Structure 1
Amino acid sequence: MENGSQRKWQFGGNEELNTAAISVRGALAMLMNNVNNPDDGDHHPQRPTIMLGRGDPTEFRSFWTTQSAVDAVTDALQSFKFNSYCPTGGVLEARRAIAEYLSRDLSHKLLAEDVYLTGGCTQAIEIMVSVLARPGSNILLPRPGYPQYEARASFDHLEVRHFDLLPENGWEVDLDAVEALADHNTAAIVIINPSNPCGNVFTYQHLEKIAETAKKLGIFVISDEVYGHLTFGSNPFVPMGKFSSTVPVITLGSISKTWIVPGWKLGWIVKNDPKGIFDKTGIVDSIKNYLDITTDPATYFQGAIPQIFERTKETFFSNIIGIMREAADIVYEMIKEIPCLTCPHKPQGSMVVLVKLNLSTLEGIDDDIQFCLKLAKEESVIVLPGVTVGLKNWLRITFAVELPVLEDGLQRIKAFYQRHSKKQ
């Protein structure tokens, strides 16, 4: 450039992506950076970090996936049958196996063409939100909820309208609020069952009311069932697809949680639509078109699905659920001994529970983020601030860890409370 001047660069980052970056992963990274990092001379003993902020128990031997699943992946890889590009929607044998697997709990039979394979449930969320992101449209999301929905909707310029889950009613949907929120531009309502972040499991009767409300409003239901069958309370898991004769349902799921393999990233979008309503609205075409321009889950994982479903013994699931039931009891009872925390309901499903932070009992802590940062620094315990999942001054605690580790983590939280409690 003449006279030493320099041309201004014309490129930059995507501001829409930057403003949409609400994530559990980002919050956990911030907290991990605070572990064992005392400032102002506050030196606390360095201890192993206890992660109670993320639903990934794979580091613990008792949560390892079944050997038959590992063997299925090995067999698929060594067969040389699954090295090609993936057809739109996924490998046919895998789609058929998932259809049969999910049909066990339904009154109608799913077909392979009802199933679309994705790179985990996260990609399934991205696809469905993008499919619905027409100009002027909106989607109804639960509060509290899973932040991936909100982040993706923000990125795709899809308006979000929140309905509350009611802790005093076992975290049921506020259906009156749903009716007030919806209008002619509302496309769908999202439910997460079993719930992340609340840990509740909806009853058959409540799911039926959700279906009837959606039908009345002329919207369909997106049911996130990634924790399906991970239940250990009085409410059994009931898939939303049971009510697809009332309202069309898109089911999202994966093998990540049920088989304890979150890194395998194999999920699905399934249409429960015996009346063929989706085919008339263009939803299915949009899903297929999205799949044509995005990446696919690894084909050898897809190829392993039939064998994984066929050979996994029921004892694997019952063992995991037994551990989770005991862990739920421990977390519920030990939280009673920590005055700054209140647990509205014992968790009945998933791997997490939401507890209320009682700031009035604490000195020098103003909100949930500050609580979590100080807890990480002083006790090397990571829990997720509730603001990440839509409820300020709540905490999401993951209890999918070995029981002695869980007890240690909760004891550290209790010690943290005692150190910061308001003195009488």
Structure 2
Amino acid sequence: MPSAIHHDDVVPTAIPLKLSEDGMAINYDDPTSWNVTAAPAVYRSKNKIRSVVAGLDLTHTSSTKPLINLGLGDPTVFNLHPPSEASISAVQEALLSGGANGYVPGTGDRAACAAVARYHQKWDGVSYQAEDVTLCHGATHALDMCFSIMTSPGHNVLIPSPGFPAYETLLGNIQDCEIRTYECLPDRGWECDVEQMESLIDDKTSFVLITNPSNPCGNNMHPDHLRRIVALAERKKISIIADEIYGHMQWSEHPFVPLASLSTQVPIVTLSGLSKRFLLPGWRFGWIVLHDPSNHAHAIRHALHCWGNRIMGPCSLIQKALPRILDETPDAWFKEVVGKLENNAITCYDRLTRIPGLYCTFPTAAMYLLLGIDISHFPEFDSDVDFCSALVKEQALFCIPGQSFGIDNHMRLVIAAPNAVLVDACERLEEFCLKHYV
């Protein structure tokens, strides 16, 4: 009778090993090893905010002040403004109707898609049909869908820097996709460097992604600048993904102009949703609208239909409520929200630009102010990460370092908070800078 063999007794010799993407050894030939691994795409997908914030010490603070968290781009954290009555009553009605408990078509219920088309026709001045709309689980899911269907192995894509970190996170899932970044220029109000953008485009470029209004820059691009971008895409015969989740959330002298309204040839794939303008990020509801005036994007239209059917569409309850949400939320409600953001932008800009060692461009849209740090005047700190880490430790004020968005020596402040909270935050930041400035 053979004796029992315990795993601890087994000493494998000369068994071939393979390294996983994260460097861990996977022993496929050892009969005692489980073949349980993660897909390579997991290790290509990096969340820049998470990796940078991991370097901050948020657990130890010498301050007795309550924490002010201006890091999370969620307009509900400080209850900036209550949701519209139309949004709440529409969901209540949809729930009680009993007609929103089942599956809907993968790309969206027709009535909901038609409501999105009407919404963009009203606000953007662009004619859409229900067939041009694909409903998604928030705008990030919309991004994931577009990246998945519009990018091929061996191709490249253009995204902005500074930019929303999720772009690189999601593109990391696509094998052999080269990410090329074009600069947004602070001395031009964070406009895109169109000349650089053109130099990056070649015959393997799948698309250019434009974020307007911008997270993290808080700017609304001038219509003439947007026309230059559309003209470039037309010359190069490539499509544009327009991330306009902050569309119409501007207080600049010039209006917000949707990219689709400027194009007669270039396919424009626009992303939007309920998260930001409607202050409903937790409802996880977004959409894609395809503007293809010259019928160049048959493949994209077909791919959106195929990809939408992979997951059977977003929440049927919100789809049922969507026509009322989009049709009945009053213009005055939107103006109230933007009015609060504008007042906050003025307050923060006036106070922060008086603090030695800091500088910024006046924000004109979205919910953010991107603040520059003249790190040479703060020799105790080697980077914006060090600066922000000390700031939260000494003043209990948390902001996201610029490195998270691809720009050094900056930090992003969320201005979707009560004005009094932002005044307090500015005072803490001033006290911190006066202490460390040389």
Cα contact 2:106–2:310 (8 A) shared by 1: no
What pairs up with 1:16-165 in 2 under 5 angstroms?
Answer: 16-24=41-49, 27=52, 31=56, 34-35=57-58, 37-38=60-61, 44-157=62-175, 158-165=177-184
CA contact (8 A) 2:79 2:417 kept: no
Deviation of 1:18 (Å): 3.4
Q: Any conservation in 2 of the 1:189–1:220 contact (CA below 8 Å)?
A: yes
1:92 maps to a residue whose letter is R
Match of 1:232 among 234, 239, 251: 251
Aligned with 1:253: secondary structure? strand
Alpha-carbon distance between aligned partners in 2 of 1:403 and 1:96, rounded to the nearest angstrom: 38
Q: Deviations over 1:329-349 (max 9, x none)?
A: 011111112222110x20000
User: How far is 1:415 from its partner?
Assistant: 1.2
Q: What is the aligned counterpart of 2:427 among 404, 411, 418?
A: 411
Instruction: State the Cα deviation string for residues 260-283 of structure 1 (Å, max 9, x = none).
Output: 11101110011011211111xx11
Displacement of 1:327 in angstroms is 0.5
Give the secondary-structure state (helix, strand or coil) at the position aligned to 2:172. helix
Residue 108 of structure 1 contacts residue 274 of structure 1 at CA under 8 Å; is this kept in 2? no
1:387 correspondence with 2:403: yes
Q: What displacement does 1:15 show?
A: 4.8
Q: Taking structure 1 as reference, are residues 35 and 108 closer, same or farther at Cα in structure 2, changes over 3 Å only?
A: closer
Question: What letter is aligned with 1:125?
Answer: L
Counterparts of residues 173-192 of structure 1 (less than 5 Å): 173-192=192-211
SS in 2 for 1:155: coil
Contact 2:137 2:285 in 1 (8 A): yes
Aligned length: 412
2-side partners of 1:306 and 1:63: how far apart? 22
> What amino acid sits opposite 2:328 in the alignment?
R
Unaligned runs of 5+ in 2: 12-31
Counterpart for residue 362 of structure 1: 378
Q: Partners of 1:349 and 1:165 in 2: how far apart?
A: 15
- Match of residue 348, structure 1, among 364, 384, 399: 364
SS in 1 for 2:369: strand
Q: Which residue of 1 aligns with 2:281?
A: 262
1:205 equivalent to 2:224? Answer yes
Aligned partner letter, 2:58: V
Whole-angstrom CA distance in 1 between matches of 2:359 and 2:370 = 9
Give the distance between the partners of 2:189 and 2:44, measured in 1 at CA.
32
- Code of the residue aligned with 1:12 in structure 2: it is T
Q: What root-mean-square deviation, in Å, do the aligned CA atoms of Structure 1 and Structure 2 show?
A: 1.8
Greater shift after overlay, 327-336 or 14-23? 14-23
Contact 1:36–1:46 under 8 Å retained in 2: no
Cα offset, 1:363, TM superposition: 3.1
Letter in 2 for 1:307: R
Letter in 2 for 1:162: T
5+ residue gaps in structure 1? 39-43
Distance 1:312 1:190 in 2: 29
SS in 2 for 1:122: helix
CA 1:286/1:62 → structure 2, altered by over 3 Å: closer, same or farther? closer
TM-score, normalised to structure 2, is 0.90
The percent identity for this pair of structures is: 33
Partner residue, 2:324: 307
Residues 98-151 of structure 1 show CA distances to partners (whole Å, capped at 9, x for unaligned) of 101101244541000000000000000111111123121111111111111111
Give the equivalent residue in structure 1 for 2:346.
329
Contact 2:106 2:312 in 1 (8 A): no
Asked if structure 2 preserves the Cα contact closer than 8 Å seen for 1:36 and 1:376, the reply is no
- Report the counterpart of residue 21 of structure 2 in structure 1: none
- 1:41 corresponds in structure 2 to none
Select the residue among 5, 18, 21 that pairs with 2:10: 5
1:227-283 Cα distance to aligned partner (Å, 9 max, x none): 01100121211111112313110000011111111101110011011211111xx11
Deviation of the 1:294 alpha carbon:
2.7
One-letter amino acid of the structure 2 residue matched with residue 189 of structure 1: V
* Paired AA for residue 60 in structure 2: N
What secondary structure does 2:195 align onto? helix
Give the greater-gyration-radius structure (CA). 2
Aligned pair 1:297/2:314, yes or no? yes
The alignment status of 1:275 with 2:298, answered yes or no, reads: no
Shift of 1:173: 1.2
Is the counterpart of residue 338 in structure 1 residue 343 in structure 2? no
Equivalent position SS for 1:277: coil
How far is 1:2 from its partner? 3.5
Q: CA deviation at 1:314?
A: 1.8
Q: 1:378 to 1:108 in 2, by over 3 A?
A: closer
Change (3 A) 1:62 1:179: closer
**C-alpha distance in 2, partners of 1:243/1:188?**
17
3-state SS of paired residue (2:135):
strand
1:320 aligns with 2:337: yes
Amino acid at match of 2:10: S
How far 1:94 sits from its partner (Å)?
A: 0.8
